[in-house]
Amino acid sequence: MKIYYEKDCNRSLIKQKRVVVIGYGSQGHAHANNLKDSGVNIKVALYKGSRSWKKAEVAGLKVEVIEKAIIDADIVVMLVPDELQKNIYYRYVENNIKSGAVLIFAHGFNVHYQQIEPRQDIDVVLVAPKAPGHTVRTTYMQGGGVPSLIAIYKDNSGKAKDIALSYASAIGCGKTGIIQTTFKEETETDLFGEQAVLCGGVSALITAGFEVLVEAGYSAEMAYFECLHELKLIVDLIYEGGLGDMRYSISNTAEYGDYVSGHKIINNDTKKNMKTLLENIQNGKFAKDFIIEKKTGFTLLKTKRRINSEHKIEKVGKVLRSMMPLICKNKIIDKNKN
């Protein structure tokens, strides 16, 4: 596997292009601001009346309605949520993007599952930073970057890969590493990681651990610290040096407990469920279910948000975090700005 760095990227390529970022959410605000700070001719495209319009203007970015912004764009970057991309592409992009332009995605969902079939006369590439947008932005502002994946779906110009590398470099990823993959591999591994481990798995594990301690009569505050708050300390060690460094740092008691108890929680039955989950991603079932969920107005999503916001772990956590000013002061997410 080849990893590309700054020396492999021609940053001047992206600086010669007119780039339009559609969307100003988590990834949108990060890409747009990083590109601007890298000296790229960047414009944000939003629908009229978007709540993000003022946020983008306050950040010093040019903003226009989507259909007008992309007419003369050399590069159009699709950074709205997955469920909105199909409608936006066919309503605004397909008939307005110029021949020979480059269409960039940060996630392969809509292309891989054939929700969007891009025009034949444009290049289509993937530039997918391996971090939430807010981390992409804060890491760039600190002088660093996050790793990124790139993939090529259509290369009519013969220069699609060079453009993808140049773009990835301009948002900071060349400082950490850029790996080439495919739309299929990025989409399926990303969905699996989110559901089985990073979001679904971790959230369920934290909540279950919290509930077990509280139901056994321990205080909610102690349960919060043990099952949620201290997780960051462990993840930081893993992030910096893998599982080995984490086990080197913790006590012998904790390491022994890791070996004798971990597989009692995450066991062969868990792996079987993970394999079923992966199969549903590979055969398109998850994508179909998600598309149906969108058509029903996100009934399940909204219900789960409400239920989870009312869970005791969220309520006690809000109180405890308010007692730790450094956490509140250095929050990555500021909903008024990003």
Which among 50, 117, 122, 107 is positioned nearest to 86, based on CA atoms? Answer: 117
CA dist 41 and 69 (Å) reads: 12
How do strand 62-65 and strand 18-22 relate by DSSP bridges?
A: unpaired
27 assigned to a ligand binding site: yes
221 assigned to a ligand binding site: no
To the query of whether residue 29 is one of the catalytic residues in this protein, the response is no
169 assigned to a ligand binding site: no
Rg of the Cα trace of the chain?
Answer: 22
- Would you state the structure tokens that stand for residue 211, as one six-digit string? 């509930």
Residue whose structure tokens are 């040096």: 241
195 assigned to a ligand binding site: no
CB atoms closer than 10 angstroms to residue 185: 13
- Would you state the structure tokens that stand for residue 111, as one six-digit string? 């292309």
211 assigned to a ligand binding site: no
25 assigned to a ligand binding site: yes
Q: Of these residues, 107, 112, 134, 263, which one is catalytic?
A: 107
26 assigned to a ligand binding site: yes
Contacts (Cβ under 8 Å, ≥6 apart) of 163: 13, 14, 17, 75, 102, 123, 125
Residue 105 is given by DSSP the state: E
Task: Enumerate the known binding-site residues for substrate.
Answer: 251
Task: Enumerate the known binding-site residues.
Answer: 24-27, 50, 52, 133, 190, 194, 226, 230, 251
Catalytic residue ranges: 107
Task: Enumerate the known binding-site residues for NADP(+).
Answer: 24-27, 50, 52, 133
Task: Enumerate the known binding-site residues for Mg(2+).
Answer: 190, 194, 226, 230
